[in-house]
Amino acid sequence: MPLRLYVAGDGPNSTLARSNLATALDRLGRSGDGIEIVDCLTDARRALADGVMVTPTLVVEGDGGTTTVIGTLADLDRVVSILGAQEEST
């Protein structure tokens, strides 16, 4: 289940999103090794090409389709739920 997190450098919300995503994956018993971090400040073209207009944006790709979550991922239960559902579908 590929995960891509679009961030804006080390901005506070982007930093929080990174941390919350790591915690959510940890709850699911997964490591964060497979996460692709795209920094929009250094690779804006990639973000534009992917249609990402806001950060933080988490894109979860699975067999059931792509799920896009934006924000700091502060509601961990909800994030775990989304990631879990996507994991089951693959």
Q: Which is nearer to other proteins, 32 or 71 (CB)?
A: 71
Q: Which residues in this chain contact other proteins in the complex, by CB under 8 A?
A: 7-9, 11, 13-14, 16-17, 20, 40-41, 44, 47-48, 51-57, 67-75, 78-79, 82
Taking the complex as a whole, how short is the minimal distance between the CB of residue 33 and other proteins, in angstroms?
Answer: 23
Closest to other proteins by CB, 34 vs 48, is 48
State the nearest-atom distance from the C-beta of 29 to other proteins, in Å.
Answer: 21
Query: Using N-to-C axis directions, what is the helix angle for 76-89 and 12-27, rounded to 10°?
Result: 60
Please state, in angstroms and rounded to a whole number, the distance separating the CA atoms of residues 82 and 48.
Answer: 24
Q: Please state the closest distance from residue 55 (CB atom) to other proteins, in A.
A: 4
Take residue 25 and report the two structure tokens written for it.
């994956």
Q: Could you tell me if 67 and 57 are in contact, meaning their C-beta atoms sit under 8 angstroms apart? A: no
C-alpha 55: how far from its chain's center?
A: 10
CA atoms of 43 and 81, how far apart (whole Å)? 30
Q: Which residue's CB is nearer to other proteins, number 31 or number 78?
A: 78
